[in-house]
A and B are shown apart, each in its own frame.
Chain A
């Protein structure tokens, strides 16, 4: 058992740093032969997924042991998984592999650098979900974001300059704002940045005499919310994803964006009273607007990639609402479902970006008016695209269903009009998603496609694209059929956080450092210090 935990710890470290290391080699070694580059890069993309697969096997030890793994490296490198981050880490590994497969078959300028930067982004994102230290958490986020800007700027599509600029400003401001809030909280909790783990912050705030300054929760919530495109701080997201190269959109919208949400769950939810009082009301309305207004904006889109980008923003709505009801009403199901939806959305949205790009490379366009009747020429692409669409609109059998239905059920004590507005997403998302499917794939072939097929004949989905899409959709179906894969990790923490959120809202009984948890394991402090 002991050797196993050492092995597992090493594997975790390898999963995070091998992509970065290979990225470094690629950035430095421009003289590598092409096949060598591809092989190395593939290794970097595939190893994390292999490690996740190993962790899933019973041989690697019980789940608890994996969640308790801690690697105390130097400086900010305090690594380890927890119940909330483990599913997100696994999702990132799969999305990264799929994005990597896509990147490997792309024909781009300065390919070696391109792959190296994507590996940087991938490694950074993995590290975000595998770090215990809050400052390290921020560090790795910036570490992943910088390649994102560069990749969008130099390898992006139409409108990449303004998109990259807007994104850079928004995300920097958002990160700064939330970091400000967190630094204040650390001050109150009396933590130095070296020992500022999630659990320590929670316990420190719980034990602290002085109350948290009023603005702390707001700064943290809206700062992190900006990073996850909370309405009305969402304007960067759709143009940003649209302009970025496909592997970057996949990784960013699928995995890296969940940084903000994960931060809200781990830092703000339990101890910053974000669901209470005026702040809670703002949170609620912003989340509702995310779902409703952005959902309607999706219906007005006339371009496939724009639609996917916008719908990726709209799908944050249920997640925010789940977090809201979890923190405002102590409804643990909301937090559980929100985490589930983060994971599932990462998979489905990466799959959609991947497949939409497959449409683009074949037809040369994303515009609805030029597309039509593609299913007759590319039946496999159509089948995958429909599956991914169905996943994203919450068809049972895919992971997104559990997340969405969980959020609806967690809102059951709210007034009926709130529930009805939230559930309207079931209809709205079906309208825009199926309209896209019908326009792009069904009906007779459009004039543009006829011409394109005559001049530059195109085939169906290739092997690598199929493999990547199968990975993403297969993972989504796996958690769709066996939802306990995710909930067995998250359930205890979700309950602990929800209970703590309610308790932190009630006036404090002075200065007895009770260890909080409502969770069955009696000594487990709420958010994650297993």
Chain B
């Protein structure tokens, strides 16, 4: 609309790319400079995004044609609607604080330059998805997000698990992207355009199921939805700030954002599937979080659960609620991960919750923020998480979608259970190891970000959005917020409060009964194992080590035997050898002179033909 704003978007998008290039090329050995430089960039773009959020209205657009392949125009441009504005702000704001946190967290890391360059590349990629005005550009940045995630997961590349996890994340994402590409091609075929605005105009009311189903594949990969969820827990092999930024707050939420953007292309069948699989995922992942002792992996399952809830909102036909939950979740989950990072840092890189305990007194700031964010995670009324999660459960109820509602109720209970367990094991009770005994509070670069994100946003984001930020800036979610009223008789409130009392309270009590071990594992080892075992991973492993390996080896063998062996050596080789025998020159001796002569003979024949014409 206004040229001013599009140039603002240029800055927001390309500043991180410049920072990344500079860090990678010149600051590889001066980690401290790279760290502060990246952080300054991140805060700058957060400021610019806030300006965009508050000042621009309507839709900001800008477009150029990059190239033409045949008749297909490859475009690059911006489409900043209310949705994108909110997402831009959330991403850049959370990212800025996570950058600051990383300055402290990565202080002793030898490869800080590479790490911060990676973070900046990631920022560039995710912002590209947010501002993109067409499917192809979305796909470009989609792939770049996959790449930067790969590089950041592989940060500790000399460890086997990090090497394996990075590969797994990239390949799993690419499996989703395979469907995404097919979806893009189908859109181009059906509607002759890839521009969101033009697509919306062309799509009309009935859209073929295949379009939505294929585009959804990209979402399944990036947002770690069933059956492509397997990479997310392994991705915790990366440094903790990476887990907070990429694998909790932003990258995985990009899938949700994208689904909201193309929601007009999703046929009812596709929506139904997203709703039910998302809700099922939310319930199951929440329960699985109970069987993890690694604090980050437990949080990763929690993220899976929340992504399921967001997917569910999309499936229920409420992309606005999905975006709202995405924003709220970004705040409190980033806080939780950063809190976990602070705990890990304080406990000298101990990640096993069973070896923690009693950290409330030793790390009071971390503990306070972590608990606040946990309560938001559990959707305590008027905390940020409540605004969105409650609305989604409410929507399921009003949509008369009982299975979805039931799954969401289980998910709510599971959330409170694993949250209570986490608080109990990490912060309450007595220290269970040497490391926890000597835990210390983290430096200000780490505690300031978690306090800002935790106390201000994880708690108050919903409140702020409701009352402080002008409605014009938040058109998308404003309506959702307007509808929010606290009422004791609403089914979502009843479910929420029950879950809170039974789940959170119960977990606090239950996990206090056994010390140094998991109470559930002691009480019912079979249930614990059922939740801990990774069924889909097992299935994929079986396929890769079994059938897939045999197929490729068989094909390689066939190629060697049939084409190279029989067809070439035997048939063609036999014929030429027969010819060679006639002239007394055999090929299979492999003598240089032999075939040098053949070349000469051939060239002579050719020359004779040409000259004779």
Given known contacts A296-B551, A395-B143, is B158 in contact with A373 (CB within 8 Å)? yes
Given contacts A235-B564, A410-B69, A487-B68, contact A426 B178 (CB under 8 A): yes
**Looking across the interface, which residue of chain A has its beta carbon closest to that of B548?**
A299
Q: Closest residue to B173 on the A side, CB-wise? A: A430
The answer on a CB contact under 8 Å between A438 and B167 is: yes
Within 8 A of B (CB), among A340-396: 340, 373, 375-376, 386, 390, 395-396
B177 within 8 A of A: yes
> Which B residues are CB-close (under 8 A) to A438?
163-164, 166-167
**Given the complex, which residues of B lie within 8 Å of A333, measured CB to CB?**
69-72
- In chain B, residues 56-104, which have Cβ atoms closer than 8 Å to a Cβ of chain A? 66-72, 74
CB distance from A328 to the nearest CB of B (A): 14
CB-CB under 8 A from B609, the residues of chain A are 183
Determine the distance from Cα of A390 to Cα of B598 in the docked complex, in whole angstroms. 41
Top 10 closest pairs, chain A to chain B, by CB: A333-B70, A332-B70, A442-B163, A483-B67, A396-B140, A300-B556, A412-B185, A412-B189, A487-B67, A235-B564
A484 CA / B67 CA spacing, docked (Å): 5
Q: Which residue of A lies closest to B553 (CB)?
A: A300
Contacts of B159 in A (CB 8 A): 443-444
Instruction: Give the nearest-CB partner of A161 in chain B.
Output: B590
What is the 8 Å Cβ interface bit string for chain B, positions 336-379, against chain A (1 contact, 0 not)?
00000000000000000000000000000000000000000000
Contacts of A410 in B (CB 8 A): 69-70, 72
| A341-B170 Cα distance, complex, nearest whole Å | 23
Binds A, one of B35-43, B326-334, B412-420, B599-607: B599-607
CB distance from A285 to the nearest CB of B (A): 14
**Residue of A135, A296, A396, A423 most packed against chain B (CB within 10 A):** A396
Which A residues lie within 8 Å of B448 (CB)?
none
Q: Is A409 an interface residue (CB 8 A)?
A: yes
22 contacts between A and B (CB under 8 A): A161-B590, A162-B590, A169-B587, A183-B609, A193-B610, A234-B563, A296-B552, A332-B70, A335-B70, A336-B70, A395-B143, A395-B144, A397-B144, A401-B140, A402-B67, A405-B181, A409-B184, A424-B178, A427-B174, A427-B178, A483-B66, A495-B71
| CB atoms of B72 and A406 under 8 A apart | yes
What does DSSP make chain A's interface, helix, strand, loop or mixed?
A: helix
Counting CB contacts under 8 A, is B171 at the interface? yes
Q: Which of A326, A397, A442 is packed against the most chain B CB atoms within 10 Å?
A: A442
Give the residue of B184, B185, B556, B563 whose beta carbon is less than 8 angstroms from that of A296. B556
* CB of A194, distance to nearest CB on chain B (Å): 10
A482 to B167, alpha carbons, bound, how many Å? 29
CA distance A165 to B67 in the complex (A): 43
Task: Report if A27 contacts B (CB, 8 A).
Answer: no
A153 CA to B594 CA in the complex, in Å?
Answer: 13
5 further contact pairs, Cβ within 8 A, besides A146-B599, A412-B188: A300-B552, A333-B69, A334-B70, A409-B72, A412-B186
Tell me the residues in window 304-342 of chain A with beta carbons closer than 8 Å to chain B beta carbons.
326, 331-337, 340
Q: Which residues of A contact B553 (CB under 8 A)?
A: 300
Q: Which residues of chain B (375-396) have a CB below 8 Å from chain A?
A: none
Bound Cα distance A484, B73 (Å): 11
Question: Residues of A contacting B613 with CB < 8 Å?
Answer: 192-193
Asked if residues B74 and A402 are in contact (CB atoms below 8 Å), the reply is yes
Select B182's contact among A396, A423, A495, beta carbons within 8 Å. A423
Chain B CB within 8 A of A172 CB: yes
Task: List the A side residues contacting B66 at CB < 8 Å.
Answer: 482-484
In the complex, are the beta carbons of B568 and A235 less than 8 A apart?
yes
* Segment at the interface with B among A9-17, A77-85, A276-284, A413-421: A413-421
| Structural contact, B70 and A179, CB atoms closer than 8 A | no
> Which residue from chain B places its CB closest to the CB of A416 in the assembled complex?
B182
- Is there a chain A Cβ closer than 8 Å to B517's Cβ? no
Interface residues of B (CB under 8 A from A): 66-72, 74, 136, 139-141, 143-144, 147, 150-151, 154, 157-160, 162-164, 166-167, 170-171, 174-175, 177-178, 181-182, 184-186, 188-189, 210, 551-553, 555-556, 559, 563-564, 567-568, 572, 576, 587, 590, 592, 595, 598-599, 602-603, 606, 609-610, 613
Contact yes or no, A442 B158, CB < 8 A: yes
**Chain A interface category by residue count:** 35 or more
- Chain B residues near A423: list those with CB within 8 A: 178, 181-182
Complex: how many Å from CA A333 to CA B73? 10
Pair A443/B163 contact, Cβ less than 8 Å:
yes
| A325 to B: closest C-beta gap in Å | 10
Cα separation A345 to B379 with both chains bound (whole Å):
52
Whole-angstrom distance between the Cβ of B436 and the nearest chain A Cβ: 29
CB of A498 within 8 Å of the partner chain: yes
Most chain B Cβ neighbours within 10 Å, of A165, A331, A337, A486? A165
Q: Chain B nearest CB: distance from A189 CB in Å?
A: 14
Decide if B185 touches A419 in the complex (CB within 8 Å). yes
Cβ-defined contact, B171 with A427, below 8 A: yes
Shortest Cβ distance from residue A164 to the other chain B in the assembled complex, whole angstroms: 8
Note all chain A residues with C-beta closer than 8 A to B564: 235
Q: Cα distance A295–B177 when bound, in Å? A: 18
Indicate if A441 sits at the interface (CB-CB under 8 A).
yes
List, in ascending order, chain A residues with CB within 8 A of B160's CB.
442-444
Q: Which residues of B contact A326 (CB under 8 A)?
A: 70
Known contacts A300-B553, A441-B157, A491-B68; decide if A153 and B181 are in contact (CB<8 Å): no
- Residue A20 CB within 8 A of the other chain: no
CA separation between A299 and B548, bound complex, in Å? Answer: 10
Judge whether B599 and A390 touch: CB under 8 Å: no
User: Which among A161, A293, A334, A486 has the greatest number of chain B C-beta atoms within 10 A?
Assistant: A293
Contacts of A390 in B (CB 8 A): 147
Complex Cα spacing A477 to B167, Å: 23
Cβ-based interface call for A230 (8 A): no
B182 touches A419 (CB 8 A): yes
CB < 8 Å neighbour of A293 from B70, B164, B559: B559
Question: Could you say which residues of chain A place their CB within 8 Å of the CB of B592?
Answer: 153, 161
B160 nearest in chain A by CB position:
A443
A32 at interface (Cβ–Cβ under 8 A)? no
Q: Which residues of B contact A431 (CB under 8 A)?
A: 171
| A195 contacts chain B at the CB level, 8 A cutoff | no
> Which residues of A sit under 8 angstroms from B559, Cβ to Cβ?
235, 293, 297
**Which chain A residues border B210 with CB–CB below 8 Å?**
416
Most A CB contacts (10 A, CB to CB) among B74, B136, B166, B186 go to B74
Q: Whole-angstrom distance between the alpha carbons of A179 and B610 in the complex?
A: 11
CB neighbours (8 Å) of A375 from chain B are: 157-158
* Distance of A169 Cα from B136 Cα, bound (Å): 44
In the complex formed, the residue of B with least CB distance to A170 is B568
Residues of B within 8 A of A49 (CB): none
The minimal Cβ–Cβ distance linking B390 to chain A, given in whole angstroms, is 39
Within 8 A of B (CB), among A150-182: 153, 161-162, 165-166, 168-169, 172, 176, 179
Closest to B602 in A: A172
Q: Check if A435 is an interface residue, CB within 8 A of chain B.
A: yes
State A157–B555 Cα separation when bound (angstroms): 26
Q: Does A468 lie at the interface of the complex (its beta carbon under 8 Å from any beta carbon of B)?
A: no
Measured between beta carbons, the chain B residues less than 8 angstroms from A413 are 189
